[in-house]
Amino acid sequence: MAQYHADLRCIRRQLGCVTKVVPFRSRQVQDDPLAMQAAQAEMKQLSVDKGAFDMGAFQEWDDVARKWPEARIVRFFLLMAIKHAQDAAKAKWKGRGVALGNNERNTFGERVVEDLMNVVPSSLDSVRLGVGYECLMRAGVTLSLDVPGAYLLADLTGAPTFIEFERELVPPRFRHMRRPCTRVWKALYGLPRASADWGAKCRRELLAAGYRHVRDPQEDSLYIREMPHGQPAVVIVVYTADFQITGEEPCAKAVYWQIAKLFQVAGATEAAAPMQEFLGIERVPRGVGVDGVRHVVLHQVKYARFICDDYERRFCAGKRLRGVATPMATGHDEGEEVPEAIPELKAAAAELVGRLLWLARCTRPDLSQPCNSMARRYRQWERVDDRALHRLFRYLRAYEAVGIGFWGAAEDLHKIIVEVWADSSHAGEVCDARSTSGVVAALRGPKSWLPVGWGSRTQSATALSTPVSYTHLRAHET
């Protein structure tokens, strides 16, 4: 039971606060008809619709081990989550069956570790690149396609793998068994091979349908669809089971419908509307100006408000935070005594900084440097770090409605250049005098400005002078 709750805490940290995770056996789930309905729907999808496993074919693990010496076994969890917890209008129960793949065991009870060639999802830079590409089209549009149960479309490869359930999920006629298990046939979420099997299937299907894979060591899931009659190509960004499709509207919609058909997405033909949200990032088109420049904004206002509200409820007794103008304190503030009113945040520091890091990675480059600085302090957390983190939430409350803007003109499509700006501080870290490097990359044209990526990183060595910090920046960070 202790291990179960430890695993659940780990999953909660991974998912952050947009999805609130609740164990299936909790009273909150058992007493809620909507939650139980979502749980039943998930088990039906896994066992009947997708054929991931057979709930009528349980066996004793000891018998399986004798029959298949190379077999493996893994625990199955049914996680119940409140999706879109930051938006009360969208919040709903969703069940997700996952395997605890980090604890896969062989017939001798030994943990299995495999080296697998995974197809890595596209980065957030590619997501922003797609939105920027939209701004360079005359009638550009970005569409979002979610493939429900995508992993379950791929067959599971490798040694025979079996899963064992919580007792509440085992059919009554099999509960007399000492260790009942059933074989899994599909790439169930959480299995070590699941991501590799789904990624390989996705790539095979797209290449067979005529899509061209962009070969780049940093971007493994970016595709191009060439269009006839000299029309601009359509760009497809694959982020696990989500597809972002960008191009001229008629071409993008044709690609959308073709991919939906390839991966058996029911009802997708009626849903080919411009993307409003992707991975929790909201897209707001601002129209086209008289000069032909298209303006699009990406932001995470709902997410920012949600984490600020949650922080105020948990650590400020519901009192609203007073805003501040900067995310980090100025130098003369560092030596001041920390007021008692500032809450102690050491126990929740990793969770809180992780939430802020998601904002920093997606749409808030202004949070990159302070988040990077605090993420290095987990093991030596002090009261001054409580003050710094509290200040960062005060800054976020004051500027929660901030995002990044994209400006692009169709006439700039063949005039775009890549610009990278890099800079470095000298001995900016008070605790160890390390320097911090920062970088911003954007696509620029005569009328276009399309921010693609940014980052902040503490240098690995202490620079003795400003020129040394710049040398380190150029050699290792850009």
pLDDT of residue 11: 45
- Cβ-contact 451, 128 below 8 angstroms: yes
pLDDT of residue 218: 75
Is 70 exceeded by the pLDDT of residue 203? yes
pLDDT of residue 430: 56
pLDDT of residue 14: 42
Cβ neighbours, 10 Å, residue 292? 13
User: What confidence category does residue 424 fall into, taking pLDDT thresholds of 50, 70 and 90?
Assistant: confident
User: What confidence category does residue 340 fall into, taking pLDDT thresholds of 50, 70 and 90?
Assistant: confident
Is 50 exceeded by the pLDDT of residue 448? yes
Tokens 């089971």 -> residue: 241
Which tops the pLDDT comparison, 474 or 298?
Answer: 298
Which tops the pLDDT comparison, 441 or 17?
Answer: 441
Q: What is the mean pLDDT of residues 404-426?
A: 88
State both tokens at 33.
Answer: 């008809």
Is the torsion defined by CA of 184, 185, 189, 195 positive or negative?
Answer: positive
Is the torsion defined by CA of 322, 324, 327, 333 positive or negative?
Answer: negative
pLDDT of residue 154: 93
245, exposed or middle or buried, with CB in 10 Å at 0-12, 13-18, 19+? buried
| Average per-residue pLDDT for the chain | 84
- Cβ-contact 52, 152 below 8 angstroms: yes
> Among 30-39, 208-217, 260-269, 456-465, which stretch is predicted with the lowest mean pLDDT?
456-465
353 vs 390: CA distance, rounded Å = 11
The side-by-side arrangement of strands in the sheet containing 242-248 is 140-146, 242-248, 234-239, 222-225, 212-213
- Cβ-contact 58, 181 below 8 angstroms: yes
Q: What is the mean pLDDT of residues 388-416?
A: 93
268 vs 264: CA distance, rounded Å = 9
334 vs 428: CA distance, rounded Å = 12
Quick: pLDDT tens for 121-152: 788 889 999 999 999 999 889 999 988 888 99
- Cβ-contact 272, 256 below 8 angstroms: yes
pLDDT of residue 105: 93
323 vs 59: CA distance, rounded Å = 60
**Local structure of 63: helix, strand or coil:** helix
Give me the DSSP letters along 283-294.
Answer: EEEEEE-TTSEE
User: What confidence category does residue 469 fall into, taking pLDDT thresholds of 50, 70 and 90?
Assistant: low
User: What confidence category does residue 369 fall into, taking pLDDT thresholds of 50, 70 and 90?
Assistant: confident
- Cβ-contact 300, 362 below 8 angstroms: yes
CA angle 183, 187, 188 (to 5 degrees): 75
- Cβ-contact 97, 46 below 8 angstroms: yes
Three-state DSSP string of 265-287: CCCHHHCCCECCEECCEEEEEEE
Q: What percent of the chain has pLDDT over 90?
A: 48
Which tops the pLDDT comparison, 86 or 14?
Answer: 86
pLDDT of residue 465: 63
- Cβ-contact 193, 112 below 8 angstroms: no
Quick: pLDDT tens for 48-58: 988 999 999 99
DSSP label at residue 158: S
pLDDT of residue 322: 93
Is the torsion defined by CA of 52, 55, 56, 62 positive or negative?
Answer: positive
Which tops the pLDDT comparison, 8 or 370?
Answer: 370
- Cβ-contact 450, 419 below 8 angstroms: no
Q: Which of 195, 28, 232 is nearest to 98 (CA)?
A: 195
Q: What is the mean pLDDT of residues 25-29?
A: 78
Tell me which amino acid residue 408 is.
G
Quick: pLDDT tens for 87-129: 666 667 888 888 988 899 999 999 988 887 777 778 888 999 9
Residues 6+ apart with CB under 8 A from 437: 422, 423, 424, 456, 457, 458, 459, 469, 472, 473, 476, 477
State both tokens at 420.
Answer: 């990278």
- Cβ-contact 152, 34 below 8 angstroms: no
262 vs 207: CA distance, rounded Å = 11
Tell me which amino acid residue 17 is.
C
Cross-strand bridge partners of residue 163: 74, 182
Residues 6+ apart with CB under 8 A from 385: 345, 346, 349, 374, 377
Q: What percent of the chain has pLDDT over 70?
A: 85
Tokens 């991501």 -> residue: 195
Is 90 exceeded by the pLDDT of residue 389? yes
Q: Which of 168, 184, 191, 151 is nearest to 47 (CA)?
A: 184
Quick: pLDDT tens for 450-464: 999 998 877 666 665
208 vs 162: CA distance, rounded Å = 32
Cβ neighbours, 10 Å, residue 47? 16
pLDDT of residue 278: 85
57 vs 98: CA distance, rounded Å = 19
Q: What is the mean pLDDT of residues 254-268?
A: 86
